[in-house]
Amino acid sequence: MFSIRSLLQAWKEIRPYFIFSVILFFAGMVIGGTPNEQLAGFFENQLKGIQSISNSISTSSNPEMTAFKHITLNNVYITIMAMGLGIIAGIMPAFMLVSNGMVMGYLLSGFSAAGENVFLLIVKGLLPHGILELSAVFLGCAYGMRYGITLIKGIFGSAFGKENAWEPFVRTAIGSVPALIAVVVLLLLGAVVESTITYWLMKP
């Protein structure tokens, strides 16, 4: 399971889903960055939740530690949930990627409209931790989508008498164990960076 050969094989199988996860997220960013009054209510509700979290962190006696705990628990919970619930036809991870991408696109569009330097904001406020966290999210969602697809293939393959119809699903389940470890480690590292380096860079 943890041999180099098995890990490379697992990556080969999950790579198309990983790439698709990246595409879904950035497609969501494009949608979110495009003015759309019909989605304004959705975005505002999301921003209220983000603002509430930001306020609780900034008013804490130890903002860095509060940020680390909240970011870690939230990211790990959501990513693992998307990974597991992807078994339902891969819908949950796909929705999570698009919706989060939309919120990100909407935020960046808003900062740009307000005259902010979006490039600097991305470099200072997103890239330091985003590379780690997004890699974990893409990997988790990729496994979630593959779970759903291989489950459907297994069901229909069995129904039509196909031999070894469940092999892809079993391989996905086995490969998800080291992937889950990688997801948690990446999210932990991302939370450390976000609650320290990013917090310091974005401090007024």
The mean pLDDT value of the chain amounts to 82
pLDDT value at residue 137: 92
More confident residue, 101 or 194: 101
State mean pLDDT over 169-185.
Answer: 88
Q: Is the C-alpha dihedral spanning 104, 107, 113, 119 positive or negative?
A: negative
3-class SS shares of the chain: helix, strand, coil, % to 5: 85, 0, 15
Report the interhelical angle of 91-113 vs 40-58 (nearest 10°).
Answer: 80
pTM of the model: 0.85
pLDDT value at residue 66: 66
State mean pLDDT over 21-42.
Answer: 84
pLDDT band (50, 70, 90) for residue 59:
low
Flag whether pLDDT at 1 surpasses 60.
no
Give the single-character DSSP code of 161: T
pLDDT value at residue 53: 62
Flag whether pLDDT at 11 surpasses 60.
yes
The pLDDT tens digits of the residues spanning 123-136 come to: 888 888 889 999 99
Flag whether pLDDT at 186 surpasses 80.
yes
Residue among 7, 1, 28, 60 at smallest CA distance from 137:
28
More confident residue, 63 or 77: 77
pLDDT value at residue 55: 64
Contacting residues for 202 by C-beta, under 8 A, at least 6 apart = 124, 125
> Hey, what are 40's tokens?
């304004």
Flag whether pLDDT at 106 surpasses 80.
yes
Flag whether pLDDT at 175 surpasses 80.
yes
Residue among 102, 95, 92 at smallest CA distance from 39:
102
pLDDT > 90: what percent of the chain? Answer: 19
DSSP string, 106-143: HHHHHHHHTT--HHHHIIIIIHHHHHHHHHHHHHHHHH
